[in-house]
Amino acid sequence: MSLHETRKIKLHQPENFQFDSIPDSHAWDNLHDHPTVEPVGPDTIPIIDLSDPKLIEKIGKACEGWGVFLISNHGIELKLLNQLCSQMHRLFALPADVKLKVAKADSFDGGYGGDPFSRFLPKYTWSESFTVLDSPLEHAKKLWPNDFSSFCDVMEEYKTAMNRLGRRLMHAMLLSLGVSEEEINDTPFGDFSKIKTVYSLNSYPPCPEADRVLGLPPHSDTGFVTFVYDNGVSGLQILRREDDNGPTRWVTVPVVPNTFVVNVGDLMQVLTNGRFHNMVHRAIIGKTYHRMSAAYFFSPELDVKVSPLSKLIDPGVGPLYKTVTWPELQTKRSLSYGHALDAFKIDSN
SS3 130: strand
Please give the DSSP secondary-structure letter assigned to residue 232: S
Please give the DSSP secondary-structure letter assigned to residue 338: T
Catalytically active residues, by annotation: 291
Max CA-CA distance within the chain?
64
Please give the Cα distance from 210 to 127 (Å, whole number).
Answer: 12
Please give the Cα distance from 315 to 318 (Å, whole number).
Answer: 5
Q: What is the pTM assigned to this prediction? A: 0.92
Closest of 10, 275, 31, 233 to residue 121, by C-alpha = 10
Beta strands in 154-304 (DSSP E): 195-204, 216-219, 225-230, 236-240, 249-252, 260-264, 281-283, 291-300
More confident: 227 or 104 = 227
For 174-208, the pLDDT digits (tens) are 999 999 988 888 888 777 788 999 999 999 999 99
Q: What is the reported pLDDT for 331?
A: 81
Q: What is the reported pLDDT for 107?
A: 62
Torsion over CA of 117, 120, 123 and 125, rounded to 10 degrees? Answer: 0
SS3 298: strand
Percentage with pLDDT > 70 across the chain: 90
Residue pair 199/162 in contact (Cβ under 8 Å)? The answer is yes
